[in-house]
Amino acid sequence: MLYGIVVFPEKHVQDYANSLRRRHDPHYSAIPAHLTVREAEEWTIEQLQMAVAHLEQITSMLPSFSIHLNRVSTFYPVNHVLYLALQDTVSMQQLHEQLCSGPLAVEAPTYVFTPHLTIGQELSADELHDLYGNLRMQEIDLSTTIDRVHLLYQTDNGSWTAYQSFLLRG
């Protein structure tokens, strides 16, 4: 089964992101607005059990933190993805490094970890540039507290559901 690890921002951030995702993200109905901490991967039951134990251990030592989303950016030309970017990525980088260690270490990551909240993907180049041109002029000032991580799995219909949530208790 396919599993991934994410954090969900508070409702006001999700509402803002979803107002854009609804039209520009084909995965809008499959998963709520989120920041991916570890990309999805096929796991066996044994790998899942090791992952849960690892997440329990790591999250017991990590404190909650706040992030600030302050602009729209894009991964163009690598990907036609539009996203809300963080003002300071240090806390999310540290969360990623801690969680993606031990049994959750990623051997050969496809991309460098860049914490972000996707608001548009699978866009044509013209659509991406037009949307980016409009959105980068908007003032964005969204803060949210990250106090838990979620281990998700993909269902048969392609949507994502929480397998287990882990409070940051450090």
- Annotate 132-156 with DSSP letters as a single string: HHHHTTS---EEEEE-EEEEEEE-T
Contacting residues for 37 by C-beta, under 8 A, at least 6 apart: 5, 6, 7, 92, 95, 96, 99, 100, 149
Q: What percent of the chain has pLDDT over 70?
A: 100
Q: Is 34 among the residues known to form the active site?
A: yes
Residue 21 lies in a domain: no
Q: What is the helix (H) or strand (E) element at residue 97, kind and residue range?
A: helix 90-99
> What pLDDT band is residue 42 in, cutting at 50, 70 and 90?
very high
Enter the pTM of the model: 0.95
Q: Is 54 among the residues known to form the active site?
A: no
Tokens 């240090």 -> residue: 90
Residue 78 lies in a domain: yes
- DSSP H helix total and E strand total for the chain: 4, 8
Residue 97 lies in a domain: yes
Residue 17 confidence (pLDDT) above 90: yes
Residue 109 confidence (pLDDT) above 90: no
CATH of the domain at 128: 3.90.1140.10
Among 24, 34, 96, 150, the active-site one is: 34
Residue 76 lies in a domain: yes
Q: What percent of the chain has pLDDT over 90?
A: 96
Residue 126 confidence (pLDDT) above 90: yes
Domains identified in the chain, total number: 1
Mean pLDDT rounded to a whole number for the chain: 96
Contacting residues for 140 by C-beta, under 8 A, at least 6 apart: 69, 70, 71, 72, 84
Q: Which of 5-14, 44-53, 105-114, 151-160 has the lowest mean pLDDT?
A: 105-114
Residue 24 confidence (pLDDT) above 90: yes
Residue 130 lies in a domain: yes
What is the span of the domain harbouring residue 59?
40-145
Q: What is the pLDDT of residue 10?
A: 98
Angle at 87 between CA 160 and CA 145, to 5 degrees: 50
Q: What is the pLDDT of residue 44?
A: 97
Phi-psi category of 158—alpha, beta or left, where left has phi over 0 and alpha has psi -120 to 50? left
Among 54, 96, 116, 150, the active-site one is: 116
Residue 74 lies in a domain: yes
* Mean pLDDT, residues 104-126 taken together: 94
Token pair belonging to 45:
């039951």
For the segment 128-163, what is each residue's pLDDT rounded down to a tens digit? Answer: 999 999 999 999 999 999 999 999 999 999 999 999
8 Å CB contact between 9 and 21: no
Q: What is the pLDDT of residue 141?
A: 97
Residues shown for the chain: 170
What distance lies between CA 167 and its chain's CA centroid?
16
> What pLDDT band is residue 107 in, cutting at 50, 70 and 90?
confident
Residue 8 lies in a domain: no
> What pLDDT band is residue 108 in, cutting at 50, 70 and 90?
confident
Residue 27 lies in a domain: no
Q: What is the helix (H) or strand (E) element at residue 74, kind and residue range?
A: strand 65-74
